[in-house]
């Protein structure tokens, strides 16, 4: 919203339009309809699930959108007295289909091993470009993925150094030619029984990169050519929606669901665990021992 061109485009709507839109998008707005832009009933999320499923050729993203839209209502929160977008009880089944479609798309598409391999390679290229000084952080805002890759390629071929050489002659061509990182190891929830994966594994941090580069050294690979991938989406089943019951009572549908009406959220932790897979990707074919990785990135469960 700080972009001068964007502010100029919004000028006809008033000087406060950029700030109001930012609040709306970030979920901080007091406008009752904010739930249609940011929240469990985000219309864009419904659309991209269906669109991604269609173009991926999978049947998982179908949501009864028309039924859900018909069930939308502006409801008054019995606790705060404020109005927000909610649903009538008749649309709860459609809301449940939205949650399950999201779970299926993450498990079968967004977190598919090929998608994750392409993602980790792209992210590693961008991270290395920033760390080596080919790019500065603010340049990441604005360009499309393809524009960014083109600029990184141009600068890498003009620069000296090992990082520029890795990016320009190995990693970028590999991404464009779909020579993706290989799965050296894959661990599911059952493989990690009794162990707690450290929080840093699901983030990007210097500590994680150091562990990855230690592994790369052990495997006779270049720095940056091992990636530990453990995708995270804690809000996958996040619900915070008002529901109007058939008797007119207004109740809030939260993480525990509404017993007897919508119970899927109560299974959220188990479903989330089954969707997540911890993978170790290597930029060249290697074999990694599961026990070694588990020892490096987990600790015993306190309840184990």
Decide if 109 contacts 57 (C-beta within 8 A): no
31-110+238-255: CATH homologous superfamily?
Hypothetical protein af1432 (1.10.3210.10)
pLDDT of 1 strictly over 80: no
**Range 140-146 average pLDDT:** 89
CB 79 within 8 A of CB 132: no
Distance CA 80, CA 146 (A): 46
Which range, of 70-79, 158-167, 250-259, averages the lowest pLDDT? Answer: 250-259
SS3 11: helix
When comparing pLDDT for 36 and 289, which is higher? 289
Alpha-carbon distances, residue 238 vs 185, 218, 241 (angstroms): 30, 40, 10
What is the pLDDT at residue 304? 45
pLDDT of residue 192: 85
| 301 pLDDT above the threshold of 70 | no
Rounded distance between C-alpha atoms, residue 188 and residue 191, angstroms: 5
Higher pLDDT: 61 or 94? It is: 94
Q: What is the pLDDT of residues 92-106, one digit of tens each?
A: 888 888 888 888 999
Measure CA 96 to chain center: 20
Q: Running DSSP on this structure, what letter comes out for residue 258?
A: B
Q: Token pair of 208, please? A: 């994680």
d(CA 90, CA 36): 19
Compute the C-alpha angle 117/187/293, nearest 5°.
90
Question: 5 and 141 in contact (C-beta within 8 Å)?
Answer: no
Q: Which of 48, 45, 61, 95 is nearest to 243 (CA)?
A: 95
231, 221, 208, 192: which is closest to 287 by C-alpha?
221
Phi, psi (degrees; rounded to nearest 5) at 19: -70, -40
pLDDT of residue 148: 95
Between 251 and 235, the higher pLDDT residue: 251
Share of the chain above pLDDT 90, in %: 48
| Residue from 251, 248, 204 nearest 228 by CA | 204
% of residues, the chain, pLDDT over 70: 97
C-alpha 253/C-alpha 239 separation (Å) is 6
Q: What is the mean pLDDT of residues 174-188?
A: 95
Closest CA to 96 of 258, 209, 207, 228: 258
Residue scoring higher pLDDT (239 or 57): 57
pTM: 0.83
Neighbouring-strand partners of residue 298: 197
Does residue 234 have a pLDDT over 80?
A: no
Render pLDDT for 5-25 as a digit per residue (tens, 0 to 9): 888 888 888 888 888 888 888
Burial class (CB in 10 A: 0-12, 13-18, 19+), 260: exposed
Whether residue 238 is predicted with pLDDT greater than 80 in this model: the reply is: no
298 pLDDT exceeds 70?
A: yes
Concatenated DSSP letters for 32-62?
GGGGGTSSTT-HHHHHHHHHHHHHHT-STT-
Work out the average pLDDT over 64-90. 91
Q: Residue 151 pLDDT > 90, yes or no?
A: yes
How confident is the model at residue 2, as a pLDDT?
Answer: 67
Burial of 138 (0-12, 13-18, 19+ CB in 10 A): exposed
Higher pLDDT, 25 or 230: 230
Mean of pLDDT over the chain: 88
Break the chain into its structural domains and give their ranges. 31-110+238-255, 117-180, 181-232+276-304
């Amino acid at each position: 919203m700080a972009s001068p061109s964007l502010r100029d485009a919004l000028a006809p709507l008033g000087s406060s339009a950029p700030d109001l839109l930012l609040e709306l998008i970030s979920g901080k707005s007091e406008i009752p309809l904010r739930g249609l832009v940011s929240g469990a009933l985000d219309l864009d999320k419904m659309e991209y699930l269906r669109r991604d499923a269609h173009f991926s050729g999978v049947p998982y993203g179908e949501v009864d959108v028309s039924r859900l839209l018909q069930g939308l209502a502006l409801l008054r929160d019995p606790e705060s007295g404020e109005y927000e977008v909610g649903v009538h009880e008749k649309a709860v089944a459609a809301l449940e289909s939205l949650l399950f479609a999201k779970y299926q798309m993450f498990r079968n598409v967004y977190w598919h091993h090929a998608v994750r391999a392409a993602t980790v390679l792209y992210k590693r290229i961008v991270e290395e470009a920033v760390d080596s000084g080919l790019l500065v952080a603010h340049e990441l805002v604005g360009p499309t993925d393809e524009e960014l890759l083109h600029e990184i390629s141009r600068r890498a071929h003009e620069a000296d150094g090992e990082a520029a050489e890795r990016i320009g002659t190995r990693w970028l061509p590999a991404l464009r030619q779909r020579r993706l990182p290989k799965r050296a190891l894959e661990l599911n929830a059952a493989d990690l029984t009794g162990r707690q994966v450290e929080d840093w594994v699901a983030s990007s941090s210097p500590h994680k990169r150091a562990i990855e580069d230690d592994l790369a050294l052990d495997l006779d690979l270049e720095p940056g050519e091992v990636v530990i991938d453990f995708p995270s989406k804690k809000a996958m089943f996040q619900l915070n929606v008002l529901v109007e019951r058939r008797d007119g009572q207004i109740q809030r549908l939260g993480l525990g669901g509404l017993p007897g009406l919508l119970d899927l959220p109560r299974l959220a932790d188990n479903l989330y665990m089954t969707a997540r897979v911890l993978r170790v990707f290597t930029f060249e074919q290697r074999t990694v021992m599961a026990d070694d990785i588990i020892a490096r990135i987990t600790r015993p469960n306190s309840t184990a």
